[in-house]
Structure 1
């Protein structure tokens, strides 16, 4: 399954993949067609606060279950079960949740959310910490036609954390840290070697989270420049999707990714050969682990 390829039958369509703005959460955009209802929503692939990660292959296997779970006829039961867990329905966090009970994309400018809280980001974060699955994306507003941030409550059964350390596997990055890192890396999207604006760039961990077995080290605002260069590279949303796809396959099949059909590695060969599945050394030499070094090493060979 490619990130932007429609699949799977006439009632289930996966139309793309997106990273929720200002988070590391990754979702698949979907269209689910029921008897007389078309639901245009999303299903989770990676949820930082819930400790969830699924490969494209696993999503393909589980999507029939997601389709059944997200049938709109199940919403009233799901909402009743959710409400039974809330003692304080006057809290601002509950009010934001209640505003999303439509199960549809709701605009932060013209939808029900701003009516109860015009700045809901902290409440949304709290809901995610509690286990609620909420996708966020800039979309066209059905009220004014402009593009604005929208949120959708995805009414799936509770997920079980898929890695040992739950939502502590990734450590947070402050806005100051993010901007400093992008500045140190010269705002260069490393796949194509072009400068981009800050909002177009994603800070990518060179060692992919699919292989982590322990929480990452902290990301303090004063992290040494050498450590930043060792740990991170800058990608766009699209090239980050490409890397994620290759890493998903590598975790499953131990076959490294190529770079635009160039199959070459400055260390090792086409097969991942770490001491165990969490060994970062097994990634060294793969183009997607460190694109800048990979291109430098390839140029060195070509020019020798």
Structure 2
């Protein structure tokens, strides 16, 4: 969205919404507009509104659409609506989430709707990012500022803000039991598909061919221990943790740029080309069609297709 704050404010034409900046959190594939919502009774809320936020399937790419979105959500930021949000979510976490004590500590801290420094304000936890991700997966909208100044200190820190928008659907990682993982490794014969070898069997992971960054709440599914072998082979491939992380980064870059990744630096796709298809959605089950043909999506099929191409073009 190539537009200045001044140009966008003119387009917005709403004196009750004050725009301060556009920001991007590239690691999380999130984009924000920093705003102040001023109500006619004088009450105001100041914070960051995500407009590119895959957890709730929000992908706004034009200034006009963002104008419409800000006007649509504006009524949620009155003093009355914010108090309703806080009361309802406090009750929800006390009634339904009391068993999630660690994550609840983070949520309770965020519920006053102020920016929270990870270092100074949130509970001391080495795995704080997992707790924040849990809250996102429960359907809440969180904003992140990785370089916000800490109150009263001459330093910056990552800050998290709970945005009082209606809770969306629950998303998250698929469930994979130790028994299922062992079965999947056995079904795929302990072959590291990246290396095309059984030499390094230790640390193999059943990797989802369809990357998590493109899932929505409809995509998540259980992985029962009795999953048929055919289905396991359709959904998973075996890689080590290093390649799993590498694929995650390649898929994230593809999600952000619309340019599909290459395997071993070889610009070959067994379907399509390096560009994400224009007629395929970015997120949800139908997005998987856009992954087909990429080497990272199905390494073995990519390898077989490349060998066939070489043989036919000798």
Asked whether the equivalents of residues 19 and 26 of structure 1 are also in contact (C-alpha less than 8 Å), the reply is yes
List per-residue Cα deviations over 1:100-159 (Å, max 9, x = no partner).
Answer: 112122111222x135x4642101101111110001112111231311101110111234
5+ residue gaps, structure 2: 171-213, 220-242, 283-314
Match of residue 50, structure 2, among 44, 51, 60: 44
Runs of 4+, deviation exceeding 6 Å: none
Q: Distance in 1 between matches of 2:5 and 2:120?
A: 31
Q: Pick the structure with greater CA Rg.
A: 2
Match of residue 149, structure 1, among 154, 158, 171: 158
Asked whether the equivalents of residues 138 and 168 of structure 2 are also in contact (C-alpha less than 8 Å), the reply is no
5+ residue gaps, structure 1: 182-201, 210-215, 233-273, 281-304
Q: Distance in 1 between matches of 2:90 and 2:110?
A: 13
Q: Trace 1:30-41 onto structure 2 (pairs within 5 A).
A: 30-34=35-39, 35-41=41-47
TM-score normalised according to structure 1 size: 0.54
Please state how far the C-alpha of 1:81 moved relative to its aligned partner.
1.9
Aligned to 1:109, what secondary structure does the other structure show? coil
Match of residue 253, structure 2, among 181, 203, 206: 203
Match of residue 61, structure 1, among 44, 52, 68: 68
Decide whether aligned partners of structure 1 residues 167 and 226 sit closer, same or farther in structure 2, where only a CA change above 3 A counts.
Answer: farther
Asked whether the equivalents of residues 116 and 160 of structure 2 are also in contact (C-alpha less than 8 Å), the reply is yes
Give 1 or 2: higher helix fraction.
2
Q: Trace 1:66-85 onto structure 2 (pairs within 5 A).
A: 66-85=73-92
Q: Distance in 2 between matches of 1:279 and 1:52?
A: 12
TM-score normalised according to structure 2 size: 0.52
Decide whether aligned partners of structure 1 residues 50 and 2 sit closer, same or farther in structure 2, where only a CA change above 3 A counts.
Answer: same
Aligned to 1:84, what secondary structure does the other structure show? helix
Q: Distance in 2 between matches of 1:207 and 1:131?
A: 25
Match of residue 225, structure 1, among 265, 288, 296: 265
